[in-house]
Amino acid sequence: MSPMPTLTLAALEDQTPSMLLAFVALAFLGLIGLVFLILFAKYFTLWFRAFVSRARISPASLVFMSMRKVNPNVIVDTKIMAVQAGLTDVTTEALEAHYLAGGNVRAVTRALIAAHRANIDLNWDIAAAIDLAGRNVFEAVQTSVDPKVIDCPDIRKGRSTLDGVAKDGIQLKARARVTVRTNIAQLIGGATEDTIIARVGEGIVSAIGSSINHKVVLANPTLIAKAVLDKGLDSQTAYEIVSIDIADIDVGDNVGARLQADQAEAEMRIARAKAEERRAAAVSLEQENLALTQENRAHVVLAEAEVPKAISEAFRRGHLRAESSENGQTST
């Protein structure tokens, strides 16, 4: 037999650093493994639920979720909901990303399930964008399936009727009920209910104003609804108008007669003002004529005062003759 190789002291000194590095590496890996096992033991029940539900969430994903400040319970529950509902395009990474972005993961998943059941074209990206935009995506899907009714005008804003005046001057007070459903394609950036109420109110007032006679509107209120629907008031809004129903319509004041009376009163006031102006002008002219008469009289008095002066001057110069009627002689 060949002799056993012996290790010299120098060889042992050369191998000591590598052995220490290997020991440190093994200890570090062992510590990581121990931490992983502790965390996995914490989420074992959660992972088992996902496993039996075919949610396909790995133990490592659950551990990393806790490290990324993601609630694993929310992700697992929503993933199980999506899988059981038959949604195959909802991934664990998409759920985590939406959770970290501050979105409502449960609401988006419920909206996708409702849209899938109602055969509405809605995917995860659009639903997540609607949720992050501040809209209630689940309520939007519900409204798309089950349309809701909006009162026009909104009584909460202080008005109870929409007032319009027909061409014959009679005021009509109307109330309408608008049935709308959500237009998911325009939910992001589309106008809200207030715009629908404002547009419908404007359309009803315009339709009443274009009617020749208020009796026509009272006899057939559907003319108003048809005229409003034909205008396409749901353009660029988050809703699609299904129908407009005139709930009530009443006769108000005779605005035309009142306006004519006000016009006549205004014209009478104008005539009075013009007459007063003419009277003042006549009085002013009369006073001017009186002043002119006094001025002319003053001129006459001045002229009469000059006559004696002229006579005396003529006598003094010998230009006047004095005739005697007794002897028929004339003296100068």
pLDDT digits (tens, 9 = 90+) for 187-218: 877 888 888 888 888 888 888 888 888 888 88
Distance of alpha carbon 194 from alpha carbon 153, whole angstroms: 10
Do 136 and 207 lie in a common domain? no
**Band of residue 12 on the pLDDT scale cut at 50, 70, 90:** very low
Give domain status of residue 124, yes or no. Answer: yes
Domain for residue 224, yes or no? yes
Give the pLDDT confidence score for residue 35 in this predicted structure.
63
Distance CA 107, CA 126 (A): 13
pLDDT of residue 7: 46
Residue 54 lies in a domain: yes
Among the candidates 145, 163, 185, a domain finishes at 145
Q: What is the average pLDDT across 79-88?
A: 87
Can you say how many angstroms the Cα of residue 8 is from the centroid of all Cα atoms in its chain? Answer: 90
Residues 134 and 194 in one domain: no
User: Residue 322's pLDDT is what?
Assistant: 54
**Are residues 209 and 105 part of one domain?**
no
- Per-residue model confidence (pLDDT) at position 105: 92
Q: How far is CA 286 from CA 260, 280, 283, in A?
A: 38, 10, 5
The residue count of the chain comes to 332
User: Measuring CA to CA, which residue among 280, 260, 257 is closest to residue 268?
Assistant: 260
Does the structure show a pLDDT above 80 at 74? yes
Q: Which two tokens stand for residue 272?
A: 């009075």
Query: What pLDDT, in 10s, does the model give residues 292-322?
Result: 888 888 888 888 888 788 778 777 777 666 5
136 and 211 fall within a common domain: no
Question: Do residues 92 and 200 share a domain?
Answer: no
| pLDDT on residue 10 | 52
Picking from 118, 259, 95, the residue whose alpha carbon sits closest to that of residue 181 is 118
Tell whether 35 and 141 lie within a shared domain.
yes
Reported as a single tens digit per residue, the pLDDT across 49-73 is 888 888 888 877 887 887 788 888 8
Question: Are 177 and 129 in the same domain?
Answer: no
Q: In this structure, are 152 and 141 located in the same domain?
A: no
Ranges 13-27, 65-79, 130-144, 278-292: which has the least confidence: 13-27
Rounded Cα distance between 227 and 94, Å, is 46
The structure's pTM equals 0.59
102: domain range?
A: 28-145
Closest CA to 65 of 79, 86, 82: 79
Whether residue 35 lies inside any domain: the answer is yes
Phi/psi for 322 (5° steps) reads: -110, 120
Torsion of CA 179, 185, 191, 197, to 10 degrees: -10
Verify that 128 and 203 share a domain, yes or no: no
Domain end (from 203, 220, 254): 254
Query: Are 38 and 134 contained in the same domain?
Result: yes
User: Is 312 part of a structural domain of the chain?
Assistant: no
Residue 66 in domain: yes
Per-residue 3-state assignment (H helix, E strand, C coil) for the chain:
CCCCCCCCHHHHHHHHHHHHHHHHHHHHHHHHHHHHHHHHHHCHHHHHHHHHCCCCCCHHHHHHHHHCCCCHHHHHHHHHHHHHHCCCCCCHHHHHHHHHCCCCHHHHHHHHHHHHHCCCCCCHHHHHHHHHCCCCHHHHHHHHHCCEEEEECCHHHCCCCEEEECCCCEEEEEEEEEEEEECHHHCCCCECHHHHHHHHHHHHHHHHHCCCCHHHHHHCCHHHHHHHHCCCCCCCECEEEEEEEEEEEEEEEEHHHHHHHHHHHHHHHHHHHHHHHHHHHHHHHHHHHHHHHHHHHHHHHHHHHHHHHHHHHHHHHCCCCEECCCCCCEEC
The answer as to whether 278 is a domain residue is: no
Q: Are residues 155 and 92 in the same domain?
A: no
Q: Are 126 and 184 in contact (CB under 8 A)?
A: yes
Q: Could you tell me the pLDDT band of residue 90, with boundaries at 50, 70 and 90?
A: confident
Looking at the fold, whether 138 and 46 belong to one and the same domain comes out as yes
Per the structure, how many domains does the chain have? 2
CA distance 182 to 72: 32
CATH number at residue 221: 3.30.479.30
Note whether residue 289 is domain-resident. no
Q: Where is the domain boundary, 254, 287, 317?
A: 254
Q: How far apart are CA 155 and CA 175, in angstroms?
A: 10
